[in-house]
Amino acid sequence: MKQALLLFIIPFLFISGSFAQQIPNGSFETWTGGEPDTWNTTNMNFLGTNFVTVTKDLSSPQQGTASAQLTTVTKSVLFNPVTVQGVLTLGILDINLITQTASVTGGYPFTGMPQKLAGYFKYQPVNNDACVVGMGLFKRNNGVQDTIAFGVINLSGTFNDWSYFEVPIEYQQWIEPDTMNILILNSIPQDGIDHTGTKMWVDNLSFVYGTVGIEGVTFAKDISIYAERNSSQLILSSTFGKQENLNISLFTMSGTETRNWKRTMQQSTERLDVSSLPTGTYIIRITSGSRLLDTRKITILN
């Protein structure tokens, strides 16, 4: 009886706004021991049989000198055919071919808040196969990794030339993550059909950020600042125990005040329009009376 590795996309532990962190080795230029640096794969040895599902392809990268090729491989193990799909992840990949289970946990340290995951792929499916690209942002809370935001797309059809894709990221909570993961599967074997030989190439992965970036690893107590996706607005969210009269100032890096807002807030949300400001880096400063509540850099990209 043919066996296939069933790797399900688990709910990811993944918002928009922080400084523009990017994906480690997102163009798959550096490899060690047959695997792309920072990434984990389904390359393995199972009962003395080697499965090589992810390889470095130098023939026609979309960018740079290399891309990652993912291939669905079937081999005979103890006289039974076993199929393993090509998988790339920044998390820890735990596979048990005997019980036909797999899971992805953890990820890469990350505090950015991107809008989309973008990249390029080629695809040569066998028997109407499909591939999956997913990502998530997470934050650890009392020992549990909470989902902050996530995005998943399925891709099907033949793509012999490099094609651009985007994965929109949907945010569940407006808090800064501490971990990021990406999961790429070249095949979906759960349909029971033989997809041996399905090939996928991936290259030039990157994050797309919104028009406003917020720099700062920590958030002040009782107040948070975010960039609203698809608009040049800052979101100010508060959870004060009583009303606070806020003075919000925006300065250029040379110290010139360019904007000032007065807001009375308790447990509420305010939007601050910065659409007319030129591209550049600014300092936002929030006070209540003589108390400094928060100060940080923001970068306006457009």
Q: State the pLDDT at residue 99.
A: 67
CA distance linking residue 302 with residue 288, whole number of Å? 30
The token duo for 126 is 């066998």
Q: State the pLDDT at residue 175.
A: 73
Q: State the pLDDT at residue 117.
A: 94
Q: How many CB atoms lie within 10 A of CB 80?
A: 10
CA distance linking residue 132 with residue 154, whole number of Å? 5
Q: State the pLDDT at residue 1.
A: 39
In the chain, CATH 2.60.40.3080 sits at 212-300
Residue 177 contacts residue 113 (beta carbons within 8 Å): yes
Report if pTM > 0.85. no
Bridging pattern class, strands 3-4 and 80-84: parallel
SS3 content of the chain, % helix, strand, coil (to 5): 0, 55, 45
User: Which residue stretches of the chain have pLDDT < 70?
Assistant: 1-20, 98-101, 174, 189, 210-220, 228-231, 254, 301-302
Q: State the pLDDT at residue 50.
A: 92
What are the backbone dihedrals phi and psi of residue 142, each rounded to the nearest 5 degrees, phi first?
A: 55, 45
Q: State the pLDDT at residue 19.
A: 44
**Sheet-wide strand order for 73-77:** 3-4, 80-84, 73-77
Q: Tokens 């997102």 sit at which residue?
A: 26
In the chain, CATH 2.60.120.890 sits at 3-208
CATH superfamily of 3-208: BT2081, beta-jelly-roll domain (2.60.120.890)
Nearest residue to 68 via CA among 87, 84, 85, 91: 87
In words, the CATH class of domain 212-300 is mainly beta
